[in-house]
Structure 1
Amino acid sequence: MGRSVALRLYAALALMALAVATVVVALSTSEASAAAGGASGYATQNGGTTGGAGGQVVRATTGTAIHQALCGRASSSTPIIIQVEGTINHGNTAKVSGDSCNTAAGVIELKQISNVTIVGVGSGAVFDQLGIHIREASNIIIQNVTVRNVKKSGSPTSNGGDAIGMESDVRNVWVDHVTLEASGGEAEGFDGLFDMKDNTQYVTLSYSILRNSGRGGLVGSSESDTSNGFITYHHNLYENIDSRTPLLRGGVAHIYNNHYVSLNESGINSRAGARARVDNNYFEDSKDVLGTFYTDQAGYWQVNGNTFDNVTWSARGSENNPAGPNPTSNTTVSIPYSYTLDAASCVPSVVSQTAGANKGLRESDGSCTPTNPQPTDPQPTDPEPTDPEPTDPEPTNPPTGTNLSLTADSDGSSKASGTSYGNVRDGNLSTYWSPSGSTGSISIKWGSATTVSAVTIREAAGSTGAIGAWRLVNADTGAVLASGNGAGAITFPATSLRKITFEITSSSGTPRVAEFETYAG
């Protein structure tokens, strides 16, 4: 079977498995809102990596909403945790402008910003044919997401073909429990899964899957780009990759407890003075898994406790220096942080249970036993609720005061014939709005920021009980303020916003919202 055909078949089977896993496995918001156990590896150095800890928590279901959350911050360094659910693609990722961001269409752009966490929640987050670009940025966490089939040629293209790419003075990035995959190599239009260049330092990739690609990832774009380094790779699965797992040009890397399966041409490629410490990894059914390849500019390695299972080695040449068949160290690398190694023999089992998105952020305790996370809670001191408990639809003490909707405007997702968006703010219970289908959304909006802490949804006569599940959303940021079932009074922490949206996600008939009342307190 030809290489490209095999890759496509392998990718198709993997994507089928992903689809099943996405339906079956859901990460709870409490797990996802926290970086389980905190960063590890080199991402703990240089002041550490905390992402958006302590900042506002917002929910995003589109790429545009991710950009809006970044642009809605007070500054480019204001901490923020963006919880992502659903499929992010070209069709829902537009450029958003603002003083605190520098975004672009067709790519998730983390440019000239800091203190950001992007984490998949709920039934999962998939970036489909859309890459994540980190440039001139620091203190970034990306966790529990899938990025797949990002192309540099063909259509559509995104991020130069890299699933996750970092460049230009990037510092302190932790990428954890992600799945990065392609459906072929360069000939099919794909590039690297995890690339770093132009002075990128203090990065950790942990508990992740990289598969079905010609190129796993590089550190340094050319033999002269040696300003990158201090990278940790641990507990990752590299599967069905041609080369670059990773390719290192200069700098220092710590590579431990990874499982490598079906590396078709070469694996860890240390060159141009790079120094790699390679501890307790499991290499299986692969070729030339460690050495200096495709150059006469040597790199170096320190090897400890690795297992080589059905690994083949090519002959040495002027531009080919495999470390095997009996790898020995040719340098020493000191590691400045603490870590605990799993035995190489149990790495395949541990990695299969922990690596990738939608695995519940499970980790290893260093004794070959996967554990559930004990998250450090980065919830903000005054958060927008991330996954609130359902609100009592008929509280005994409804909000009092001035109904702010009476002097506001309104719009919505759709409206049934004979109904109007304005009917929900006219103070008349005999008029109403209905969506054109069984679900939809209705919004109240103001010309300037308005503080709201309570809402009352009143159904029209004859339709009581039709509204099923709902979410109340800060439409400025995408944050979920409350969720529940049925109409009634809703309270939440006071929030300053310009637009608030009531999303009906299920119903037992035709919803009829007579009034969407809003109150300051």
Structure 2
Amino acid sequence: MRLLAATATAAVGAVIVVALPNPQASAATGTVTGYATQNGGTTGGRGGQTVRATTGTAIHAALCNRASSSTPIIIQVEGTINHGNTTKVSGPSCNTAAGVIELKQISNVSIIGVGGGAVFDQLGIHIREASNIVIQNVTVRNVKKSGSPTSNGGDAIGMESDVRNVWVDHVTLEASGGESEGFDGLFDMKDNVQYVTLSYSILRNSGRGGLIGSSESDRSNGFVTYHNNLYENIDSRTPLLRGGISHIYNNHYVSIHESGINSRAGGRAKVENNYFKNAKDVLGTFYTSERGYWQVAGNIFDNVTWSSQGSDNYPAGPNPQSNTTVSIPYSYRLDGANCVPNIVQQTAGANKGLRVSDGNCTPTNPTPNPTNPTPNPTTPTPGPTTPTPGPSQPSGTNLSLGAGADGSSKASGTSYGNVTDGNVSSYWSPSGSTGDISVKWGSATRVGRVVIREASGAVGNIGAWQLINHDTGAVLTSGTGAGTATFSATSLKKITFRITGSNGAPRVAEFETYAG
């Protein structure tokens, strides 16, 4: 390891929860960009009560004192939060634990550093079975998984198990070594985490920057945006992407010692206008034979070295070329890579005044109290419908990601699981001109809308079809051509797309399912 030294201090603060007079005044500042804007958007606790906390126990108490686990709340944090002042608090609207900031089975929460700053010292933030979370302007440092004290499996911020819509902004995440020193990842996501943005943040002095997916089989995560961040003095995982889709732009990478953006196991990353300096193997597939993919544009590689290709080592350089295409469903401002070091230096990390880039390489103050409303839900049209051609990125959670899949047959070189992997470059095709493909879950799941996406080069090949409730055999709806179909929402364990006619070899890239 070549890691900078860091010191840790401990301070025990009193438990203080103070209601502030204006609940809107202390909402997260600035406007979220990236995948956290999708799936209805990420607003955190906007519109809820604002409270002040100077201890971890007070943060837990604020969660537990809400009317329900989804009642919006903004928690302003100041001071040092550590093991000595973080205990478990019980209540019907929370599920907390000692020795970690536990955001479990809750929603609509903002944690905002204020005043002289908020430091989570040797204490991680754990997000589990939660949604619509904002964390802004805090420092999390020296969280360990071994040694003493331990917290959060050694992750500074860790997310797992059905997490949706998280915005982490202007934070500083740092360690003082790698796994041998007791630390793990700075920003980890696993077991079905989706629609996340990490922006204007610093990740440094660690063996591992962070991951998406805990193993090659954990491919249920994705739709993560990283922008305007500084990765400094990191050995690897900036990030490690196993399956799923990520958008990585306008980040500054300095002193990446072993490997950087590691896209593997079918992962796809759009990597644009980043600045890599004094680093090694900053992009590719590493430590596995299960390849990933990337789309590159506008990056600068300054004193970057590349290793030779091997059986489990596939660096993208020395002349990185795109091997996939990633469609981005949101708007964003893109600075030229040449100014990224300067703009990131002035804006990234906690206690930087929450400044952002104006898209023209100039730092600017954030917009106070932005609006990012959740779109009004639409009521699906019941009964048979003809799908809308050329489906766009729909709102809501794609229930197929991480689900099982099977079918009646599959053509050579195709797989049932390709329709649930979030990757439109892979596909399933029946062995003939017609056939069944199904998505299945371990328990009853409510589905009211389906999107069928055809693979490139086969658009228009799907002819007549039926959507079938495989549990009962009932036809939910029917039509012709790929696209979007809605029907009366139904709870089922398995849904089948039955192709009964075709204009060529059908190729289903994605079989997406939504609640409505």
Give the count of matched residue pairs.
Answer: 359
What are the residue-to-residue correspondences of 1:93-492 with 2, within 5 Å?
A: 93-376=86-369
- Structure 1 distance, partners of 2:317, 2:23, is 45
- 1:33/1:377 contact within 8 Å kept: no
Q: What one-letter code is carried by the residue in structure 1 that aligns with 2:161?
A: S
How far is 1:279 from its partner?
0.6
- Structure 2 distance, partners of 1:327, 1:259, is 17
1:241-295 per-position Cα deviation (integer Å, ceiling 9, x unaligned): 0000000000000000000000000000000000000010000000000000000
How far is 1:7 from its partner?
1.2
> TM-score normalised to the size of structure 1?
0.68
Change (3 A) 1:373 1:247: same
Three-state SS of the structure 2 residue aligned to 1:91 is helix
- Structure 2 distance, partners of 1:328, 1:35, is 38
- Structure 2 distance, partners of 1:274, 1:366, is 28
- 1:84/1:119 contact within 8 Å kept: yes
1:49-101 per-position Cα deviation (integer Å, ceiling 9, x unaligned): 00000000000000000000000000000000000000000000000000000
Q: Tell me the residue number matched to 1:450.
A: none
- Structure 2 distance, partners of 1:53, 1:43, is 15
- Structure 1 distance, partners of 2:241, 2:208, is 13
- Structure 1 distance, partners of 2:3, 2:148, is 19
Q: Tell me the residue number matched to 1:438.
A: none
Q: What one-letter code is carried by the residue in structure 2 that aligns with 1:207?
A: Y
How far is 1:125 from its partner?
0.1
- Structure 1 distance, partners of 2:71, 2:24, is 23
- Structure 2 distance, partners of 1:118, 1:334, is 31
- 2:273/2:298 contact within 8 Å kept: yes
- Structure 2 distance, partners of 1:33, 1:289, is 38
1:449-491 per-position Cα deviation (integer Å, ceiling 9, x unaligned): xxxxxxxxxxxxxxxxxxxxxxxxxxxxxxxxxxxxxxxxxxx
- 1:64/1:96 contact within 8 Å kept: yes
Structure 2 residue aligned with 1:7, among 3, 25, 38?
Answer: 3
- Structure 1 distance, partners of 2:31, 2:175, is 28
- 2:122/2:150 contact within 8 Å kept: yes
1:172-223 per-position Cα deviation (integer Å, ceiling 9, x unaligned): 0000000000000000000000000000000000000000000000000000
- Structure 2 distance, partners of 1:349, 1:44, is 26
- Structure 1 distance, partners of 2:137, 2:361, is 22
- Structure 1 distance, partners of 2:107, 2:333, is 29
- Structure 1 distance, partners of 2:302, 2:131, is 39
How far is 1:30 from its partner?
11
1:109-131 per-position Cα deviation (integer Å, ceiling 9, x unaligned): 00000000000000000000000
Q: What one-letter code is carried by the residue in structure 2 that aligns with 1:367?
A: N
1:277-330 per-position Cα deviation (integer Å, ceiling 9, x unaligned): 001000000000000000000000000000000000000001000000000000
Three-state SS of the structure 1 residue aligned to 2:92 is coil
Which 5+ residue runs of structure 2 have no aligned equivalent? 10-21, 372-516
- Structure 1 distance, partners of 2:138, 2:25, is 10
How far is 1:40 from its partner?
1.1
- Structure 1 distance, partners of 2:69, 2:24, is 26
Three-state SS of the structure 2 residue aligned to 1:54 is coil
Higher relative contact order (CA 8 A, sep 6+): 1
- 2:190/2:212 contact within 8 Å kept: yes
How far is 1:32 from its partner?
8.4
Three-state SS of the structure 2 residue aligned to 1:66 is helix
- Structure 1 distance, partners of 2:226, 2:214, is 19
- 2:31/2:370 contact within 8 Å kept: no
- 1:237/1:355 contact within 8 Å kept: yes
- 2:200/2:347 contact within 8 Å kept: yes
> TM-score normalised to the size of structure 2?
0.68
> Structure 1 runs of 4+ off > 4 angstroms?
29-32
- Structure 2 distance, partners of 1:60, 1:121, is 10
- 1:50/1:139 contact within 8 Å kept: yes
**Cα RMSD for the two superposed structures:** 1.6
Three-state SS of the structure 1 residue aligned to 2:29 is coil
- 2:232/2:254 contact within 8 Å kept: yes
Q: Tell me the residue number matched to 1:49.
A: 42
Q: What one-letter code is carried by the residue in structure 1 that aligns with 2:3?
A: L
How far is 1:8 from its partner?
4.0
Three-state SS of the structure 2 residue aligned to 1:204 is strand
Matched, 1:68 2:61: yes
Three-state SS of the structure 2 residue aligned to 1:347 is helix
1:128-147 per-position Cα deviation (integer Å, ceiling 9, x unaligned): 00000000000000000000
